[in-house]
Chains A and B, each alone.
Chain A
Amino acid sequence: MSKELSGNYWINKAVKIGSNRAFQNQQILLEKPELTTDEFLVALYREIGMEYPKWFKMDRLSKLGMLAAELVLGRPGGNLADPFGSAIVLANRHSSLDTDRKFVEQLKEIPSPAVFVYTLPNIVTGEISIRHGFKGEQAFFIDDLCPVDFMVNYVQTLFEEGNTHTCLFGWVDILGEQYNATLYSVSGVQEDSVHSIPFTSKNVYQYFDHEQGAVS
């Protein structure tokens, strides 16, 4: 059952990438149903003008998470006012299984070190941190379905402990051609009188369900 939390914190921006479509808040940025997942991720990278050559070396989970983070946070360059007060809390269903399978396949010959280093799901949080300068709390949870209530409570607790002032929060999952990244920027400041909405489980759920249906 969804637990409503206090409205002291705000979702200031939300991004959703899935089924070859990318949304920023409610606005669709890119839709390319004819592409494969890999092709769509590259198309989105080009579309948003993300200039970061290292992105091409990442695994698909990190590529997806990096694109979603870029859409939420914008280009790096002093946009994090408080790096040590900026947290990242993510979750997914398939951990790093997409990359783990690729690595196991490579064990028949000589496996790639560049693949091996991505055989953990929380590497994506590190990649986002390096790119955008996060130095605060980080957590990555794995569950069958997105544990929205648990995660909202977790982030609320971080805020109430006093060290965290802003949080990149959400779901980043990929396995084969199935993928979904839904990220939110949350803080105690209502940054946009139109788009900012209270940080509640209900509002988080609603955006998860937006357009693409439930997170699977």
Chain B
Amino acid sequence: MNREQLVEELKQQIIEQLNLQVQPADIVASDPLFNEGLGLDSIDALELIVLMQQKYRIKLANAEDGPKIFQSVDTMADFILANQTPQAG
């Protein structure tokens, strides 16, 4: 999966995981996820951590990195690409 595909997949995953009433096309990958932008809250942040662990098998080693990683869809994609273990087969 290339970065562009990952960004689109992430948009869909975020919408499903957080029950958002928007379409993937409504999410600008570089826009902030919290406060402005999608207006996510602290529970949503926890859901994103679960998403990262469940779907992409990436566990956040340091919670303090959260705000940087979950700043936008773009930053999430970059983090996944940098940390994802290649699947066997």
Q: Mark B29-66, 1 if CB is under 8 A from A, else 0.
A: 00000000000000110110010011000000000000
CA separation between A109 and B55, bound complex, in Å?
Answer: 12
Q: What's the nearest-Cβ distance from chain A to residue B20, in Å?
A: 7
Q: Which of A57, A110, A117 contacts B50 (CB 8 A)?
A: A110
Q: Which of A56, A109, A113, A117 contacts B21 (CB 8 A)?
A: A56
Q: Mark B67-78, 1 if CB is under 8 A from A, else 0.
A: 000000000000
A117 & B54 in contact (Cβ 8 Å cutoff): no
The answer to the question of A189 belonging to the interface, with a C-beta cut-off of 8 Å to chain B, is no
Q: How many A-B residue pairs have CB under 8 A?
A: 24
Q: Assuming the A-B contacts A112-B47, A114-B43, A117-B43, are A57 and B18 also in contact, with contact meaning beta carbons closer than 8 angstroms in the complex?
A: yes
Residue on A nearest B50 in the bound complex, by CB: A110
Interface centre among A109, A110, A114 (most CB of B within 10 A): A114
CA separation between A22 and B47, bound complex, in Å?
Answer: 33
Q: Assuming the A-B contacts A56-B19, A56-B21, are A109 and B54 also in contact, with contact meaning beta carbons closer than 8 angstroms in the complex?
A: yes
B50 & A112 in contact (Cβ 8 Å cutoff): yes
CA separation between A109 and B50, bound complex, in Å?
Answer: 10
In the complex, chain B residues whose CB is within 8 Å of the CB of A57: 18-19
Interface size class of B (residues with CB under 8 A): 10 to 19
CA separation between A14 and B56, bound complex, in Å?
Answer: 48
In the complex, chain B residues whose CB is within 8 Å of the CB of A33: none
The answer to the question of A162 belonging to the interface, with a C-beta cut-off of 8 Å to chain B, is no
The answer to the question of A213 belonging to the interface, with a C-beta cut-off of 8 Å to chain B, is no
The answer to the question of A53 belonging to the interface, with a C-beta cut-off of 8 Å to chain B, is yes
B50 & A53 in contact (Cβ 8 Å cutoff): no
CA separation between A20 and B43, bound complex, in Å?
Answer: 31
**A–B complex contacts, Cβ < 8 Å, 18 sampled:** A53-B20, A53-B21, A56-B20, A56-B21, A57-B18, A57-B19, A109-B54, A110-B53, A110-B54, A112-B47, A112-B50, A113-B43, A113-B46, A113-B47, A114-B19, A114-B43, A114-B47, A117-B43
8 closest A-B pairs by CB: A113-B46, A56-B19, A57-B19, A53-B21, A110-B50, A114-B43, A110-B54, A114-B47
